[in-house]
Chain A
Amino acid sequence: MRWIGAMFILISCGGFGFSIAYNYRQRERLLLQLLNTLEMMSSELEYRLTPLPELSRKAAKVCGGVLRDVFLNLARELEWQSEPDAGGCMRAAMEKCHDLPACLRRPLRQLGQTLGCFDLPGQLQGLKSVQEICRREQARLEQNRDARLRSYQTLGLCAGAALVILFA
């Protein structure tokens, strides 16, 4: 019984450490996904002049998870014309996604501020500046990433082991 309890503590603490590391990687993945989506949006705008509601739906198709929800919500808000401007629609779309990581909030907010305000060159410039924000955020996350992820995992395992020793 004792051994089972010890294993349980060890696994849950270790799992916690691993889940923090997983979330960290997930944030990076989402940022990369947003970068690719912005790239796709730029091309769509430049070569097809796709209207914003349709563009948001296309963006939702190429990304997954929480980003897909944001873009789908944005497309709906734009189609319902719920706000006077696209920035307001983006805000409403983001509010509906409660599990949006902080690292995505800033670039998405910036994206909302630039969407639908300018003509084509201005809009492309706006997308570029959002891409730049994403890259900076990505670089920040990448800094000492491996060491940091290893420490999260090790810390989780060590905390579990410490608890086992304490309870034993």
Chain B
Amino acid sequence: MICAWKQLLSVLPHEIGAQVDSVGRDTMQELRLRLNAQPEIVSAAGSVWLKQTVRQEDLNYVVNAASRYSPWCASTKKQGYLTAPGGHRIGICGDAVCHCDTSGGFQRITSVCIRVARDYPGIADRIPDTWESTLVVGAPGWGKTTLLRDLARRIAKDRVVCVVDEREELFPEGLQRGKRMDVLHGYSKPRGIDMVLRTMRPDYIAVDEITGESDCYGLIQAANCGVRLIATAHGAGLLDLKQRVVYQPLVDRKIFHTIVLLKKDKSYSVERVVS
């Protein structure tokens, strides 16, 4: 298991960081900081509450350290999240500012949820080499991104894989990439897919978290060009996936032939879709 633990600690205020390091080093899945409350370390075994109370400066420190004091680099902050060095996801809540129905950022941050990114090389070995498009389905926190990362890396041993990594979570600096892997950071998924399709001649395109219709149409466009896809989607099972309106274009067109269904305990089963 590989985890950029030092980078995670670097975005935490020193006192909280020291406690987190001693309590959650190996097991922590999430760290939740809420204004004027105790920090909560969430692991598979349950929650542990730290002693120190979270102040406004602590929350500001986390957000500023994660964005390197540069909100203009973290354009996603407006959407309520940031990616810290090492690929750790930071969700933000607080008093948002809106201009004409578009989010303009946060006036005051009151809660922060840090999800620890861990890399488990070899966990995708049980997925058969079908050279077909593969969709990883699971609920939040079940390990979709981790599995996709390893699957993309494995496929990239033999085929050209272009990763459209919008939030720099899949392959942040420091994580091992595949031999034939090209990673595009920063662009939105539809735009990134279009770009790598035109310029990088990929065998596979990998994207994390299909969440919108435009993502689906971007993937369909790529599939129509003969490119295979590996992606993740939210869902508690195959039935749940089929019932979600947003995924209908993908289900109807049978874009994915292999579905990897994740379970809460992070184990998974593989299902084949007959085209």
List residues of A whose CB falls within 8 A of some B CB: 45, 49-53, 55, 78, 81, 84-86, 89, 115-120, 123
Question: A81-B61, A84-B60, A119-B78 given as contacts; is B68 within 8 A of A53 (CB)?
Answer: yes
Name the B residues within 8 Å of A89 (CB-CB): 69
Chain B, Cβ-Cβ closest to A86 = B69
Q: Are A85 and B71 interface neighbours, CB within 8 A?
A: no
Task: Let me know if B70 is at the binding interface, CB within 8 A.
Answer: yes
User: Contact string, B56-88, partner A, CB cutoff 8 A, digits 1/0?
Assistant: 011011001100111111010110000000000
- What would 21 A/B residue contacts be, using CB atoms closer than 8 Å? A45-B72, A49-B70, A50-B70, A52-B68, A78-B68, A81-B10, A81-B61, A84-B57, A84-B58, A84-B64, A85-B60, A85-B69, A86-B64, A86-B69, A115-B69, A116-B69, A117-B71, A119-B71, A119-B72, A119-B75, A123-B72
Chain A, Cβ-Cβ closest to B72 = A120
Task: Let me know if B105 is at the binding interface, CB within 8 A.
Answer: yes
CB proximity of A89 to chain B, nearest CB, Å: 7
Q: Are A52 and B60 interface neighbours, CB within 8 A?
A: no
Name the A residues within 8 Å of B13 (CB-CB): 84
Across the A-B interface, give the 8 residue pairs with the lowest CB-CB distance, nearest first.
A116-B69, A120-B72, A84-B61, A51-B70, A52-B69, A86-B69, A84-B57, A51-B68
Q: Which of B72, B73, B77 has the most CB of A within 10 A?
A: B72
User: Contact string, B97-118, partner A, CB cutoff 8 A, digits 1/0?
Assistant: 0000000110000000000000
Name the B residues within 8 Å of A85 (CB-CB): 60, 64, 69
Q: Are A116 and B78 interface neighbours, CB within 8 A?
A: no
User: Contact string, B200-219, partner A, CB cutoff 8 A, digits 1/0?
Assistant: 00000000000000000000
Name the B residues within 8 Å of A51 (CB-CB): 68-70, 73
Chain A, Cβ-Cβ closest to B105 = A119
Name the B residues within 8 Å of A55 (CB-CB): 70
Question: Given the complex of chains A and B, what is the CA–CA distance between A119 and B104 in angstroms?
Answer: 9
